[in-house]
């Protein structure tokens, strides 16, 4: 087994560089509009959604062509969604590059079978998988050619609703560095081998086995998961997931596209699809405004006002005003890493204090003018109970800098009660273009003000102050991965009053009830390696605030932590990249 590696940018920073108007629309609050003027629902999915069926000629050639374009285009403008109609596909190796999503169009993963692989490797980066971001696989069954499928990814690369009829290798060829990742609603018949993966979260799935752990492997609701044993080996295992609702997905019902909306589950365990037809409801594509790059924010808002949902096809969307999601049960779904860029300092998207909104599958990229916020879930001060039908935020990723200068004071604010954040990567860029302590300034990553919020798979990195600030009562987080900002120029730049540095995860002093499982924070202060961070985590020491499986790591001795949480836990030291752990708090 390889020596536990350091994180991605230790090397990375050096190496990188038209159908009829829908009836729903006609009966909406915009009924003053005439039928002829109403925005249409449905329509074609645009040029960057590539649809295959088993009889399509030269499937492999088309896949290879897209991969060549996207393999190393980390901050490029290309966006692709690859859709496969139900059936069997032979001799397929779908290699995925940046901003590429691959999905089956069946209601079950087993409806669309590859006798072959969906592969992510790291040849483009000399065997280092730590920058294999922004790609996804969903709703397919795989019979891997070698018996094992390779999925060597980092952040923002979900593996959802997949059936691997064999093993799954999460490391690159050669077992180089890797720093992912996330699996949900999937079944791996064989063994999952993470090997050099430093941390991983698996939710509501089934695995035939799991081979090892480096720093932090967390499981909830996973059949076949290893037993709780943190910190040696560092497995944090929950029998069930308290509340979950799987991501909406596009599928074919005969010749008609629909979006399936899985139902809410409590105390979930295992997949949603293993025992027949999944439980949930469907919406026809005619109830979606199919957005394409160049559409105005005003048109998007008009579509929502008419009663349509939004489907963003792959591409980059500039917004000169906020997209306002104000209707209960509205769905906003992105394909192929559709990217929203707020211009002139606006907030990209706001959700109202309503039930059941589903946001999924898109990227928000901060604009050059500072936005106070990029994504807001609910208005400040709301106390409405949404427990029966919460808002879900799934595979919604946020980036500040990297593709060019960007700024935002706070990236994501969650005010609505009972919101579920299910897999996000909120990232202030540490490499790429427009990167610097003030160039892509972003003080706060995720701020949670609402009560009863649950995060399953929370990845938040490199913010100038608190990466996560949790002010709401009864919050819960299952798996947290963090790096403090690499580029702090000196100790004074991160000083927090009398405290050395801002915690990665701060629970407000007024909170009386909070719980977290499997949380890690890492530092790599490469500009000033003498910086000391007082702790990775800060929380009130009261009986109702509990943590399980905490760790901090100094990467190669570039900066150090004095403690793990508050004044508890040993300091990190030296250059050996060995975690300091706390099994439970208090």
Count H helices and E strands in the chain, helices first: 4, 45
Residue 332: which of 353, 305, 293, 361 has the closest Cα? 361
Residue 97: which of 74, 126, 130 has the closest Cα? 74
Dist. CA 256–CA 173, nearest whole Å:
40
- Could you tell me how many residues make up the chain? 586
Dist. CA 85–CA 383, nearest whole Å:
43
Report which secondary-structure segment, H or E, holds 69.
helix 59-70
Residue 420: which of 456, 451, 371 has the closest Cα? 456
Q: For 9-50, give the DSSP string.
A: HHHHHHH----PPPHHHHTSTTTTS-TTTSPPPB----TTEE
Quick one: tokens of 473? Answer: 């009562």
Phi, psi of 232 (to 5 degrees): -140, 95
Residue 277: which of 255, 256, 253 has the closest Cα? 253
CA atoms in the 13 A half-sphere facing the CB of 204: 24
Dist. CA 170–CA 308, nearest whole Å:
39
Quick one: tokens of 372? Answer: 């106070």
Residue 544: which of 476, 480, 453 has the closest Cα? 476
Return contacts of 204-207, CB within 8 angstroms, 24+ apart: 204/241, 204/244, 204/246, 204/265, 204/268, 204/269, 204/270, 204/271, 204/272, 205/270, 205/271, 206/270, 206/271, 206/274
Dist. CA 273–CA 205, nearest whole Å:
10
Catalytic (active site) residue 483: yes
Dist. CA 172–CA 151, nearest whole Å:
8
Dist. CA 503–CA 507, nearest whole Å:
9
Report which secondary-structure segment, H or E, holds 142.
strand 141-142
Active-site residue identified among 438, 461, 483, 515: 483
What SS3 string covers 465-495?
CCCEEECCCCEEEEEEEEECCCCCCCHHHHE
Dist. CA 379–CA 314, nearest whole Å:
29
Dist. CA 348–CA 350, nearest whole Å:
7
Quick one: tokens of 56? Answer: 């399509």
Residue 342: which of 392, 398, 393, 423 has the closest Cα? 398
Active site residues: 483
């Amino acid at each position: 087994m390889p020596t536990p590696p350091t994180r991605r940018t230790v090397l990375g920073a050096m190496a990188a560089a038209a159908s009829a108007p829908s009836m729903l629309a006609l009966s909406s609050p915009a009924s003053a509009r005439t039928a002829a003027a109403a925005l249409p629902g449905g329509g074609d999915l645009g040029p960057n959604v590539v649809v295959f069926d088993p009889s399509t000629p030269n499937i492999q050639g088309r896949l290879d062509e897209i991969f060549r374009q996207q393999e190393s285009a980390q901050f490029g403008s290309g966006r692709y969604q690859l859709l496969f109609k139900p059936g069997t596909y032979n001799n397929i190796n779908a290699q995925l590059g940046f901003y590429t999503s691959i999905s089956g169009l069946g209601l079950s993963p087993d409806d669309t079978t590859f006798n072959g692989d969906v592969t992510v490797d790291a040849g483009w980066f000399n065997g280092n998988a730590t920058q294999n971001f922004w790609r996804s696989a969903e709703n397919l069954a795989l019979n891997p050619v070698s018996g094992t499928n390779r999925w060597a990814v980092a952040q923002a690369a979900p593996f959802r609703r997949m059936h691997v009829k064999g093993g799954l290798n999460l490391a690159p060829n050669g077992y180089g560095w890797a720093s992912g990742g996330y699996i949900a609603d999937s079944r791996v018949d064989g063994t999952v081998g993470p090997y050099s993966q430093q941390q991983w979260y698996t939710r509501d799935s089934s695995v035939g086995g799991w081979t090892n752990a480096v720093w932090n492997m967390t499981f909830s609701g996973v059949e076949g998961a290893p037993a709780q044993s943190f910190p040696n080996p560092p497995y944090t295992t929950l029998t069930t997931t308290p509340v979950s609702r799987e991501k909406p997905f596009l599928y074919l019902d005969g010749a008609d596209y629909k979006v399936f909306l899985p139902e809410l589950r409590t105390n979930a365990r295992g997949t949603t699809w293993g025992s027949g037809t999944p439980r949930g409801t469907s919406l026809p594509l005619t109830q979606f405004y199919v957005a394409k790059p160049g559409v105005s924010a005003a048109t998007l808002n008009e579509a929502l006002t008419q009663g349509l949902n939004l489907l963003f096809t792959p591409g980059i969307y500039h917004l000169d005003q906020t997209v306002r999601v104000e209707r209960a049960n509205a769905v906003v779904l992105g394909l192929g890493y559709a990217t929203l860029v707020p211009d002139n300092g606006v907030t990209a998207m706001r959700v109202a204090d309503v039930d059941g909104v589903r946001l999924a599958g898109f990227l928000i990229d901060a604009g050059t003018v500072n936005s106070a916020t990029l994504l807001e879930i609910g208005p400040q001060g709301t106390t409405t109970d949404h427990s029966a039908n919460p808002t879900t935020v799934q595979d919604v990723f946020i980036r500040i800098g990297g593709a060019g200068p960007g700024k935002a004071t706070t990236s994501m604010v969650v005010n609505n009660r009972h919101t579920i954040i299910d897999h996000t990567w909120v990232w202030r860029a540490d490499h790429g273009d427009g990167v610097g302590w003030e160039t892509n300034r972003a003080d706060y990553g995720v701020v949670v003000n609402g009560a009863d919020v649950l995060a399953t798979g929370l990845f938040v990195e490199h913010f100038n102050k608190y990466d996560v600030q949790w002010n709401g009562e009864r919050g819960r987080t299952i798996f947290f991965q963090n790096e403090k900002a690499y580029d702090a120029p000196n100790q004074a730049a991160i000083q927090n009053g009398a405290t050395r540095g801002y915690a990665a995860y701060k629970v407000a002093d007024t909170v009386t009830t909070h719980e977290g499982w499997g949380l890690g924070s890492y530092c790599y202060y490469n500009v000033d390696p003498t910086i000391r961070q007082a702790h990775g985590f800060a929380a009130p020491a009261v009986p109702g605030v509990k943590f399980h499986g905490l760790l901090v790591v100094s990467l190669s001795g570039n900066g150090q932590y004095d403690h793990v949480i508050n004044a508890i836990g040993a300091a990190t030291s030296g250059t050996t990249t060995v975690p300091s752990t706390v099994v439970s708090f208090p």
